[in-house]
Homo-oligomer: A and B are copies of this chain.
Amino acid sequence: MFNFDFHNPTRIFFGKDRLDSIDQVVPADATVLITYGGGSAVKSGLIDKVKIVLGNRKVYEFGGIEPNPRYETLMKAVEIVRSENIDFLIAVGGGSVIDGTKFITLASSYKGDGRDLLKYGFTPITSEVVGTVVPIGTVLTLPATGSEMNSGAVISYEHGKFPVMSPLTFPKFSTLDPTITFTLPKIQVANGIIDTFVHTTEQYLTYPVDARLQDRMAEGILQTLIEIGETTVNEPENYDARANLVWCATLALNGIIATGVPVDWSVHMLGHELTALFGIDHGQTLAIVLPPMLEVRREQKRAKLLQYAERVWKIEDGSDEEKITLAIQKTREFFENLGVKTRFSEYGVEADQIPVVIEQLKAHGMTALSETQDLTLDISQQILERAL
């Protein structure tokens, strides 16, 4: 097991009818900006419910944060935070709204050009850079990204997606009410399941370091998703299935399964380029990239792939190679059974676009990816060709 640091101060309010808890944690004299995405949070009445809980606090609203939140949009909210002396931000939405709100608070306190904050990559942005920031809370509407209990964000600018990390952006609280997710479109639920699944594989399908509990927690998330995936897509008001999904999504990316183990993230790095270039949903890009990634990287990942086959998919028969092949095949079938296509060409992208993707990877410095930092552009090309 590797040495590690772990720190996650976000307070979770989980379950039915938990909005009232917001009143406990937002100061009574706070001036609040509620941020959200499209109109569904308004139409469903959720924004109004949050405002009722906030009572006499002065409340502003900022809607229109898009999926893959864009720098220019977020800077408009920064103006409101500054001009209205906002001292609490409440993000009502999924990962994009929460990610965007993390960027809003950092950029609001930063004295220079907000685009500077996109250059830090995986280097955490500290209070030495931005000073004191406005605290964030979240009301989660879409289980997927885990952003509700971590300190990371991904922000879109021009043709790139930029990671933004800061210990200052852990939400002070997140309200996770599975019933709020009942009205989500099926495809968003399916994408959320796949996002959670691939967050987990990125931290699990690497190489073994004798981190037994971390492995079993990761396997526990994957097994749970496999068990409840189709049910929660097809029975949107099945509370137990949805509750299990919500908690899996949060724990898949709150840092706990990453403690002491190597992490990969190359499926996400390739996926980000596909979203930026072709507008394919994040979850869909992961469903496209993961199976060929595992096929191409089976040598590097052999030991953990075999463990995955045996423990997660309960494959007992056959040679090691056959078990691994079957596990990858079952992974693809799992995604397809959720209603998500797993072939590049099914999204209208053909072989002639692969050089464009490779060019973008190169432009963004994605030339030595994976837990072993040996996933070159040539290997990315092989993966994309197998993804067709």
A110 located at the interface, meaning its Cβ lies under 8 Å from any Cβ of chain B in the complex: no
Partner of A213, one of B5, B16, B251: B251
A373 located at the interface, meaning its Cβ lies under 8 Å from any Cβ of chain B in the complex: no
Q: State the CA gap A243–B219 with chains docked (Å).
A: 20
A302 located at the interface, meaning its Cβ lies under 8 Å from any Cβ of chain B in the complex: no
Q: State the CA gap A223–B21 with chains docked (Å).
A: 36
Query: Which residues of B have CB within 8 Å of A8?
Result: 8-9
Given contacts A3-B16, A4-B14, A14-B3, contact A247 B260 (CB under 8 A): yes
Contact with B along A13-47 (1 / 0, CB 8 A): 11111100100000000000000000000000000
Q: In the complex, which residue of chain B has the Cβ closest to the Cβ of A221?
A: B213
Q: In the complex, which residue of chain B has the Cβ closest to the Cβ of A11?
A: B7
Contact A247 B259 (CB under 8 A): yes
Minimum distance in angstroms from A45 CB to a CB of chain B: 21
Chain A interface size, under 10 / 10 to 19 / 20 to 34 / 35 or more: 35 or more
Contact A15 B240 (CB under 8 A): no
Q: State the CA gap A7–B216 with chains docked (Å).
A: 22
Q: In the complex, which residue of chain B has the Cβ closest to the Cβ of A256?
A: B256
Contact A5 B14 (CB under 8 A): yes
Contact A219 B221 (CB under 8 A): no
Name A residues whose Cβ lies closer than 8 Å to a Cβ of B: 1-18, 21, 210-217, 219-221, 223-224, 227-228, 240, 243-244, 247-248, 251, 256, 259-260
Provide a sorted-by-A list of 27 A–B residue pairs whose CB atoms are within 8 angstroms.
A1-B243, A4-B12, A4-B14, A4-B15, A5-B11, A5-B12, A6-B12, A7-B10, A7-B12, A14-B260, A210-B240, A211-B244, A212-B227, A213-B221, A213-B224, A213-B244, A213-B247, A213-B248, A213-B251, A214-B247, A216-B217, A216-B220, A216-B223, A217-B217, A220-B220, A247-B259, A251-B256
Further 20 A-B residue pairs, CB within 8 A, beyond A3-B14, A8-B8, A243-B260: A1-B15, A1-B244, A1-B247, A3-B16, A3-B17, A3-B18, A5-B11, A6-B11, A7-B9, A7-B10, A15-B260, A210-B243, A212-B220, A212-B244, A213-B220, A213-B244, A213-B248, A214-B247, A251-B256, A256-B256
